[in-house]
Amino acid sequence: MPSLTQKEVITRVIEKRTLKNGRRAYRVRWREAGRGSPERMRSFDRHEDAVRFETEMRRRKQLGELATAEPSKVTLDEFAREWWQRYASTELARKTQERYASIWDLHVLPWLGDLQLRQLTPAIVAGFQSELRLAGVGEPTIRKTLALLQAVCRDAITWGRLTSNPVKPIRKRAVVGRRAVRPLLPEAVERLRRELPTNRDAALVSVLAYAGLRPGEALALRWGDLGERTILVERAVSYGEMKSTKTRATRSVRMIAPLKAELAELRMRHGRPDDEQLVFPAHDGNPWHDDDWKNWRRRVFDPAVAKAGFGPRSSLRPAALVRVAADRRGTLDRRRRSTSRPLGHDGTRHLRARLRRARRNRAGLRRGGHPRGACGPGADRTGFRCLEEQQSPAICRAFLEAL
């Protein structure tokens, strides 16, 4: 077999063309991944430049690197559409897709959509961040926008479109000024439950508040998930479909005796459904859709919140009821890392948050029983800050015995 000389290689991939205006051009053709992959082309006025470019492309292939000269001309908008089709549409949850699409269309696309990937630099991204602040965009939204842009650029590196991530060096401001978390008292939860129209609505609030399940996890519960002392959490409902939990992990949470009795009574009222049926089905017996959840909040939960004395414009949401269980476990359980696992969170993250909160409240914390002050951390170890004039020590101790 005759040897393949340099001249033969060049004549095979470099084409000499004569344009209509009489000017000569040399076109280089190459494929990034061999036969079957898209063919790339680039034209040069000088034969020497075409040879140098072809040599560089061949060197990159021999080193295992991807030739990235031509794809860098792709705009950020065009690459984002490819990223959405190849990654986001298959790997991200539907709610995450909607949130990302809204952020991209409102903030990224108008500012950076027409830029080519190779034109995207840290200086441009820093200017983009400043423009968002000047436009009055909130700091949490800016952080989410930069996180999304950084994720897109990270995949651009993986797919050979960029050599470095222009968003990674940008310093993001920490979000400060969050409101203090004040979990509801058990007495307030019971007041809310009494205003709900049906036993099933009251049981749903109990599962959220006393078991610490997220709304989607509570709506995905089957009767077979209820054990003697625990609740098995291994799925969630999203847009009427069953999916994995937010953390994609299965966990078991403790079920207090009053909650167990309430769910047993609910099962008796509905004719002892089998283990595969949902505990909280929609009106048609299927999992809840997003519209079902919004209607329930507007027609059932929000009016009950107003009747229970929280005010017509209260910011109380069903998802916030999980803080009741979180605050109870955070004080009863001395092993802080195991406090978060029943709630489906990262234990170390929860530990750091509680340490920061403890430093802020160290001056106001006092140890002892209820007569010394509010029933809070270090007082009867219930984890609930009870108002002395509204809640007696007997109520606190009775709820603690029920746990």
Distance in angstroms (rounded) separating the CA atoms of residues 392 and 331: 19
pLDDT on residue 360: 58
Hey, where are the domains in the chain? 6-67, 73-158, 186-362, 365-403
pLDDT at 4: 36
Does the domain made of 186-362 have the CATH classification 1.10.3720.10? Answer: no
pTM score = 0.62
Sign of the four-CA dihedral 332, 335, 339, 342: negative
Give the per-residue pLDDT at 42.
82
Determine contact, residues 40/29, Cβ cutoff 8 Å: yes
Give me the pLDDT at residue 206, please. Answer: 94
Contacts 24+ apart (CB under 8 A), 245-254: 245/214, 245/217, 245/344, 246/214, 246/216, 246/344, 247/344, 247/345, 249/344, 251/341, 251/342, 251/344, 252/227, 252/342, 253/211, 253/212, 253/213, 253/325, 253/342, 253/343, 254/211, 254/229, 254/230, 254/342
Per run of 10 residues, the mean pLDDT along the chain (length 403 residues) is: 39 74 84 68 85 81 56 84 94 91 95 92 94 93 95 92 91 73 81 94 94 93 95 93 89 92 94 95 93 94 90 73 64 44 54 59 46 39 37 43 46
Class of domain 73-158: mainly alpha
